[in-house]
């Protein structure tokens, strides 16, 4: 379990599929989550998609439920997908979606992303994290950049929805960049605490 101040990330359980099914059939949520606003999925297909995680057999993908810490209420889901095409795993895609719209604009997405990056770089000891989204998803792009991700590629006309093609943006963050950002944040926090405690 990964825990922050606002949210907790815990393992996906079978009973979570009920709310996950609702979220993954919501056009507005799936537009932001996967660039597929016309995405619909059955209960059976959803269970098949997460079957290996539910059995603890998928070492290449970690699926989490985002819980609001104050209420233990599920508010979204998150994943880490480790690239398996190299002999040594070096890279993972990170993704998250807040399915409960009441949880939007409360800092839950930022904290969830930070917990995922802690897992990628400090627990899994990977070298880089990737963040994929469609070009017009300004909330996602700005969140990634706020966390230190840099735009690395633009795949032109890579996804199709709303009767037209859209570019996909690939953003990347290296471990040394992550550590540098974290160190600067901790130094800044220490200085603030010292200032507040001074006579």
pTM attached to this predicted model: 0.88
pLDDT in tens, 162-185: 889 999 999 999 999 999 998 988
**How far, in Å, CA of 94 to CA of 114, rounded?**
10
Q: State what percent of residues in the chain have pLDDT above 90.
A: 67
Q: How does pLDDT run across 75-118, given as a tens digit for each residue?
A: 999 999 998 666 678 999 999 999 999 999 999 999 999 999 99
State mean pLDDT over 1-29.
Answer: 92
CA–CA separation, 9 vs 104, rounded Å?
A: 17
Residue 88 DSSP class? S
pLDDT for position 1? 84
Alpha-helical (H) ranges within 35-94 are 43-49, 51-54
Q: Kindly report each contact of residues 172-176 with a partner whose C-beta sits within 8 Å and lies 24 or more positions away, as own/partner.
A: 172/128, 172/129, 172/130, 172/131, 173/117, 173/128, 173/129, 173/130, 173/131, 173/144, 173/147, 173/148, 173/149, 174/127, 174/128, 175/121, 175/126, 175/127, 175/128
H helices of 38-174, in order, are 43-49, 51-54, 108-118, 138-146
C-alpha span between 33 and 47 (Å, rounded): 18
Task: Say what the pLDDT of residue 196 is.
Answer: 54
How far is 75 from 101, CA to CA, in rounded Å? 8
The β-bridge partners of 11 are: 64
| Tokens, residue 146 | 């706020």
């Amino acid at each position: 379990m990964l825990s922050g101040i606002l949210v907790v990330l815990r393992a996906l359980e079978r009973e979570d599929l009920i709310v996950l099914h609702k979220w993954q059939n919501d056009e507005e949520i799936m537009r932001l989550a996967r660039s597929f606003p016309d995405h619909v999925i059955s209960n059976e297909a959803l269970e098949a998609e997460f079957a290996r995680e539910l059995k603890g057999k998928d070492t290449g993908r970690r699926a989490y439920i985002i819980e609001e810490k104050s209420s233990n209420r599920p508010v979204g889901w998150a994943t880490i997908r480790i690239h398996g095409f190299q002999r040594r795993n070096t890279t993972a895609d990170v993704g998250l979606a807040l399915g409960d719209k009441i949880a939007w604009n409360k800092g839950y997405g930022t904290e969830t992303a930070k917990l995922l990056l802690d897992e990628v770089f400090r627990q899994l000891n990977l070298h880089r994290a990737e963040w994929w989204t469609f070009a017009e998803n300004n909330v996602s792009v700005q969140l990634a950049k706020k966390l230190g991700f840099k735009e690395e590629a633009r795949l032109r006309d890579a996804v199709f929805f709303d009767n037209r093609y859209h570019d996909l943006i690939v953003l990347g963050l290296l471990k040394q960049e992550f550590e540098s950002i974290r160190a600067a944040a901790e130094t800044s926090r220490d200085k603030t605490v010292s200032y507040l405690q001074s006579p």
